[in-house]
Amino acid sequence: MNFYNLSGIVPLDLVSEISSLLETQQFPKTYLLHKQGTVCKHIYLVQKGIVRTFFYKEGKDITVHIASEGELITAIDSVISLKKSRYNVEVLEDSEIHAISYNKLQALMGKHPQYEKYMRLILEQLYAEGADRIEEFLFYSAKERYDNLIKNRPHLLNRVNLGHIASYLGITQETLSRIRKIS
């Protein structure tokens, strides 16, 4: 979901209020915005750059989500529940990131309950994207997942290393190389 495409859905006063709560910083490649085993208290909006969410399993890092300009990213298992996260959130290239405290966002919703419906719309969109991703893994072959990535997010191929792309697609780097040769 591209946050910048919400201007027709979300009222400008809400966008303005949220913008006033954002903390903007520059981060270098490989910087961890969030480390596993800690509580994540922020939602991040990528202004410039690319960020991924990943976790370690059996000595391998598994990329769960990749966000680029205009997209949101966080350690979702932690930010809402305030429990320690199993995810890391890593900057993949020098990036400009807007961070908003989840507590401040909740306070804004408490102050302006009429905004909650717009937050619900955003969450519904994020949920739909998550459901689509699950569907890809359940029903699509590795080649079909790669083709979908090329169709929907081609910019990632030039900006994210193939190991992370393969992990994101749920395949090995060798399988990704074979798929790329026949595509």
List average pLDDT for each run of 10 residues in the chain, which is 183 residues long: 60 82 96 97 95 94 95 91 96 97 90 84 82 94 97 96 97 96 88
Report how many domains make up the chain. Answer: 1
Q: By 3-state DSSP, what share of the chain in percent is helix, strand and coil, each rounded to 5?
A: 50, 25, 25
Specify the pLDDT at position 117.
84
pTM, whole model, 2 decimals? 0.89
Torsion sign across C-alpha atoms 86, 130, 135, 54? negative
| Assigned domain for 169 exists | no
| Assigned domain for 24 exists | yes
Give every CB contact of residue 115 below 8 A, 6+ residues apart in sequence. 14, 17, 108, 109
- The CATH number of the domain where 85 resides is what? 2.60.120.10
| Assigned domain for 67 exists | yes
| Assigned domain for 181 exists | no
Domain holding 69, by residue range, is 3-111
| 56-73 exposure pattern, b = at least 16 Cβ within 10 A, e = fewer | eeeeeeebbbbbbbebbb
